[in-house]
Amino acid sequence: MNQRRLDDWMAGFMHYTKESECPNSYLIWSALSTLSAIVQRRTYTRWVYKVFYPNIYVLLVGPPGITHKGSAIEFSHSLLRKVGASVASQSITKEGLIVQMRARAVDNANALAVMSDEFSSFFDKSGTQMISFLTDIYDCRDGWDDMTKGGGRIVVEAPYLSMFAATTPRWIADNFDHRFTEGGFAARTIFVAETHPRFLKARADITQDMLDAQDDMLEDLAAMQSVEGEYIWTKEAEDWFDDWYETKWPREHVDYRLASYHGRKPTHVIKIAMLAALNESNELELDVRHLKKAYQVLTALERNMTRAYAAVGKNPFAGDLERMAETIQQRGRISRRELVSLNVHEMDRKTIDENLLTLEVMGKLRKELDKGELWYLSTEKK
């Protein structure tokens, strides 16, 4: 196999992007999404009766224009373009996506990466049909087929689809009901939710060693395109995973809205462990450190994951509730007068008061009287 220049490809990626305002979590998943897209269907591993491929669906979630979601996706997209990886059009129908998968087949595998900084433009063309397709194709079975309206049969042999996209909590709330959090797509998707950039920096100091790191990354990505075969688990990896799966995973406590994701967490761990192994070398060995790394990066997301679809549910004011909480958190401290002014175009004052009381009961804010004026203070860390 081709030699690699970096012992830790993701460390090189994080060094190259260290001047970016993107949250750290966005950059980690940008790197993992790049690895998932580059390896395609050439590698796999086995667990029980199933074969697993390292394709992942990642959706960055954050308020518009604040967390630099598009920048994180562009880092990945740019690297993939430079090494000639197969990337789908950003705005495309379900049928168009299938055509592009079939047109870019290599060695009978129909592999493609979706990179979209506006998931809405990717979704809106086909709506729920696109969600159903993404759900069906995720497991990379030997073949996928569908019947067209005209009665013709479309077949995608050996599919492999990875996705790295971005959206806002409000868009999710406006386009999905409570069944979204219980459905197959949400369970298969890793939601990376943030509310603030890593820091604010008007100018980036791009050094020569950062540019050298990019060159090394590109050379290693090219080398990864020759990696092919089955990842074999070490005995230590098997023992760790068996213990976690049988004794620890069932006792993990997560928000009820994460139940469908949690049910598929073992699948996510296995997929990301393969990427963690690819990150280090071209050797097809799955070690315990790769599984632990996968578990750690997933678990680190779970605290914020519910922010991605906190507004999805039966409460028609859930989106307003989440937006008000986010406003108070961003400001740290805001007067009642200003808060009402910001929200009165969305709801009446009675609803505003009810939402504020709900946030107070939830422990997300506290009130303070200062010189006769009422202020709201966030109790949540930025």
CATH assignment at residue 217: 3.40.50
Residue 1 lies in a domain: no
More reliable by pLDDT, 23 or 258: 23
Are 157 and 126 members of one domain? Answer: yes
Indicate if 304 and 331 belong to the same structural domain: no
pLDDT at residue 151, as a whole number = 56
The residue among 250, 284, 309 that closes a domain is: 309
Q: Indicate whether 200 and 347 sit together in one domain.
A: no
In the structure, what pLDDT confidence band is assigned to residue 182 with cuts at 50, 70 and 90?
low
User: Do 372 and 249 share a structural domain?
Assistant: no
Q: Is residue 2 part of a domain?
A: no
248 and 168 share one domain: yes
Which CATH number do you get for residue 327? 1.10.10.10
Quote the domain boundaries for residue 344.
318-378
Q: Does residue 4 lie in a domain region?
A: no
Q: Which of 287, 309, 331 is the last residue of a domain?
A: 309
> CB pairs under 8 A, 24+ apart, for 376-379?
376/328, 376/333, 376/334, 376/335, 376/336, 376/339, 377/328, 377/332, 377/333, 378/325, 378/328, 378/329, 378/331, 378/332, 378/333
Average pLDDT score over residue span 6-17: 98
Domain match, 164 and 280 both: yes
Determine the pLDDT at residue 218: 98
pLDDT in tens, 75-110: 999 999 999 999 998 888 998 999 999 887 777 789
Q: Helix, strand or coil for residue 86? A: coil
- Helices (DSSP H) in 168-234: which residue ranges? 169-175, 179-182, 184-188, 208-224
Residue 63 lies in a domain: yes
Segment 317-355, tens digit of pLDDT: 666 777 788 889 888 899 999 999 998 888 888 889 888
Q: Are residues 189 and 240 in the same domain?
A: yes
pLDDT of residue 87: 94
The answer to whether residue 3 is domain-embedded is no
Same domain, 278 and 365: no
Q: Are 23 and 89 in a shared domain?
A: yes
Overall number of domains in the chain: 2
Clarify whether residues 213 and 343 are in a common domain: no
Query: Higher model confidence: residue 18 or residue 258?
Result: 18
* 156 shares its domain with 300: yes
Q: What is the pTM of this model?
A: 0.86
The predicted pLDDT at position 42 comes to 94
Asked if residue 232 belongs to a domain, the reply is yes
Give the distance, in angstroms, between the CA of residue 31 and the centroid of all CA atoms in the same chain. 11
What percent of the chain clears pLDDT 70, i.e. is strictly above it? 93
Last residue of a domain, one of 257, 281, 309: 309
Rounded CA gap, 195 and 168, in Å?
A: 10
**Residue 60 sits in the same domain as residue 13:** yes
